[in-house]
Structure 1
């Protein structure tokens, strides 16, 4: 029985003599608590109880920093959320030269972010996340090498103003929108008035042009008629004028007027016209 117990103890000790270091990690061999050497991937031997192997990952690791407050140049309070990717470049520094290298790295990122945003005004900061990312990466640079860490990528996920500032911004945005809407409405009304005035003016011009054209047409027609009459009169003989006189006296005979005023020189010509005398006599008989 004792032999079995001894064999079990020996087997357990034998098993603890070996440590498997996984892919993309390194093993830090410690002898009595003191760093001795770095072991590579694979099966590694160690002395039980006296030695142990601490495994450190070299893979890229994501990290999200808890949201925290930063103050802008114009004293606006902004909540910042940051994510970054890092990997361990020096396992010995990472494990032994800093009690908490990751926390130190986070404090470094927060400090530089506060400094960068502290030199910006609120509106500039909210619209410059890409620039802040670049400035922050440049500021950190190789500083994290002190902790055995390299920051591969850093990103500002969110810059959110405080509730009071957000409310003020919403009020300002609403006022700006209402102002723009009022300006647009006023411009629309002014344009409408301008178009109506132009339409009315065009209508007046068109009407005046049409009236002028109509007047000109009538004047041309009247001038044409007068020219024709004058031309006809030039070629008319005495019989034409006698006939016109008869027509005139005939019309006069049908009217209530019985008084004729005429030139004495023309009176004999009128009396010599027998047809006219007869017509006047007949008309006077009808009236009686």
Structure 2
């Protein structure tokens, strides 16, 4: 008496005779001997698997929770069923071990910013598991790297501190720049004022020098008659003033007495006494 077993597409049947593997049957209708034989069905299709909340430690001793998804399929049904009591769990342990090793070699900041590289390194490390478990991992991806609550709080404090520091530096730079501009403006104004005053002083000095030069030139061009005339005019002014005493040497009296006008002034001054 024969039994009938239908193996679905993309599956394989493992026939066990009295508990021992005897042969493999493919998709379709297959015969077996009931009681003595049993057909174990193995799915060959790609299977997704999520590894949630796995904790790893980074190089700088930061705890990180990881969520990993992977896709695998069975390549060797015999190895998958008989050479390991739980090939899927063994695969999971292998993935977690490699992930722990990869992340343990890098710092937290590098781990959070380079998930693509971690994915690639993990895929290379896993390789082809067919020889060991009859499984091939087709795709592995780190969905999330989440630091622990204490690390997250510390990071947020650090970010706030960095922002406050940046703002303080920007404010200080702005104030320093404002002071620099104001000081430069004052210095420029002081220099401009000093230059203007210096230019005015030079101009006044030049004008005075020119005046003195012209006076010297004029005095150099006149003769003694001019000075005598000036002295006579002075005596005339003196005769009109309340002053009635003039002190001079004998020689000067003799010199001025020869001038008629001078003599007249002196006589007028004598009569007023």
What per-residue deviation string (whole Å, max 9, x for no partner) do you get for residues 125-171 of structure 1? 33443443343233322346422222233232222111122112222
Contiguous gaps of at least 5 residues in structure 1? 1-12, 282-288
Question: Quick check: 2:75–2:130 contact (8 Å CA) kept in 1?
Answer: no
Deviation sequence 1:19-78 (CA, Å, 0-9, x none): 662xxx2433636685623426xxx3323885868463444x543321222233444321
Q: Please, which runs of 5 or more residues in structure 2 have no aligned partner? A: 269-273
Preserved CA contact (<8 Å) 1:65 1:81:
yes
- The aligned counterpart of 2:15 is 30
Structure 1 residues 98 and 265, CA gap change in structure 2 (3 angstroms): farther
User: What is the alpha-carbon distance in structure 2 between the residues aligned to residue 82 and residue 256 of structure 1?
Assistant: 125
Q: Deviations over 1:228-263 (max 9, x none)?
A: 222222223456545655776787789887766667
- Alpha-carbon shift at residue 79 of structure 1 (Å): 0.9
> 8 Å contact 1:271–1:277 — kept in the other structure?
no
After superposition, the CA RMSD in angstroms is 4.1
Residue 103 of structure 1: aligned partner: 89
SS at match of 1:47: strand
- TM-score calculated relative to the size of structure 2: 0.71
What residue in structure 2 maps to residue 215 of structure 1? 201
> Which of these residues, 29, 33, 36, is aligned with residue 45 of structure 1?
29
Aligned to 1:172: 158
- Equivalent residue number for residue 227 of structure 1: 213
* TM-score (ref. length: structure 1): 0.68
SS of alignment partner, residue 31 of structure 2: coil
Q: Is 1:156 the counterpart of 2:145 in the alignment?
A: no
- In 2, are the aligned partners of 1:58 and 1:89 still within 8 Å (CA)? no
Query: 1:30-179 residue pairs with structure 2 within 5 A?
Result: 30=15, 34=21, 36-39=23-26, 44-47=28-31, 50=34, 54=41, 56-59=43-46, 61-143=47-129, 145-179=131-165
Deviates more, 1:267-276 or 1:93-102: 267-276
CA distance in 2, matches of 1:92, 1:234: 136
Assess if the C-alpha contact under 8 Å between 2:53 and 2:67 holds in 1: yes
How many Å separate the matches in 2 of 1:137 and 1:259? 130
> Cα distance 1:154–1:231, how it changes in 2: closer, same or farther (>3 A)?
same
1:113-135, Cα deviation, whole Å (9 max, x unpaired): 22333344444433443443343
Corresponding residue pairs, total = 260
